[in-house]
Amino acid sequence: MKTEAPEGISFLDRKESGFVHFVKYHGLGNDFILVDNRDTTEPKVTPDQAVKMCDRNFGIGADGVIFAMPGVNGTDYTMRIFNSDGSEPEMCGNGIRCLAKFIAELENFHGKKSFTVHTGAGLIVPEIQEDGKVRVDMGEPILKASDVPTKLPPNRDQSVVKARLDVDGRAWNVTCISMGNPHCVTFGTEQSQDLQVDELKLADIGPKFEHHEMFPARTNTEFVQVFSPTHLKMRVWERGAGETLACGTGACAVVVAAVLEGRAARSCTVDLPGGPLNIEWSEKDNHIYMTGPAEVVFYGSVPL
């Protein structure tokens, strides 16, 4: 599908014309406004403008704005992202799958194709598969408490696995992982380890995890139900975006936490409200591989 901008304005027009052209994508319902920023290292949209654009009533509506930017240190591209609250996270798993499909469209690539992308989480390599899904080398999980970062007391190996975190009058067991961005994963409380995630009121407890003092950079929080060692179900309250239908970095953190807690195998299907992701934590290279869809929804232009 060609990316045709309104008559008289080229798709690659610059900010001075007062318009920004975008393509709306989603990865399992985690949706993003993608902006072609290949011609400059300065985002074409400010964080405040991103907040307005993400508003689902007064704007386009999205969980974030993602910029395809020039590569650095030899990478093909750079990805930057603003959450719908205007904060800038290090990485976005569903977002990088959308970025890969966006770039393929812009560059008129077809078929199997991989890119090197510089992100706040370091080098990330998405590869578009023949079936149109995207397999992403998400790099290695970060387990050291101070790097997540969390102030929860670490084990001797500096990781935080099944630690106690008091939220909303309940003693939750949490495992904290960074995928470049911080994640707090819980399978339940000290009283009950078999969460029925559909019964949780995330709007009540999500912000209490996100802004907890044990997370100096805030945190994404994943609530997980284990169907089997290879089949997990999760809901997520995202830092800077609230409850979303899917979280790619969160699904990766969930599999790492499940393995560390002895609940799952290294290759799992993770069911999210928006659909499933296949996650593998490779024993060979310690990298995490995520495979899932990324779909275009519509094309547009927005006055700034």
Ligand X SMILES: N[C@H](CCC[C@H](N)C(=O)O)C(=O)O
* Site residues for ligand X per CB under 6 A: 30, 83, 89, 92-95, 181, 220, 238-241, 244, 247-250
33 versus 189: smaller Cβ distance to ligand X: 33
Q: CB 241 → ligand X: shortest distance, Å?
A: 5
Virtual CA dihedral for 76, 77, 78, 79, nearest 10 degrees? -130
Inter-residue contact 1 to 296 (CB < 8 Å)? yes
148 versus 197: smaller Cβ distance to ligand X: 148
Phi then psi for residue 69, to 5 deg, are -120, 165
Q: CB 183 → ligand X: shortest distance, Å?
A: 8
Inter-residue contact 162 to 153 (CB < 8 Å)? no
Amino acid residing at 132: G
37 versus 181: smaller Cβ distance to ligand X: 181
Catalytic residue among 98, 176, 247, 252: 247
Q: CB 156 → ligand X: shortest distance, Å?
A: 28
3-class SS letters over 185-251: EEEEECCCCCCCHHHCCHHHHHHHHHCCCCCCCCCEEEEEEEEECCEEEEEEEECCCEEECCCHHHH
93 versus 141: smaller Cβ distance to ligand X: 93
**Alpha-carbon span 102 to 125, nearest angstrom:** 15
Is 268 tagged catalytic?
no
**Bridge partners for 122 per DSSP:** 119
**Alpha-carbon span 213 to 44, nearest angstrom:** 33
Distances (CA, A) of 67 to 80, 203, 292: 5, 29, 20
285: tokens are 């290279």
Q: CB 218 → ligand X: shortest distance, Å?
A: 7
SS3 284: coil
37 versus 244: smaller Cβ distance to ligand X: 244
Catalytic residue among 92, 98, 176, 184: 92
Q: CB 8 → ligand X: shortest distance, Å?
A: 35
Is 247 tagged catalytic?
yes
Residues designated catalytic: 92, 247
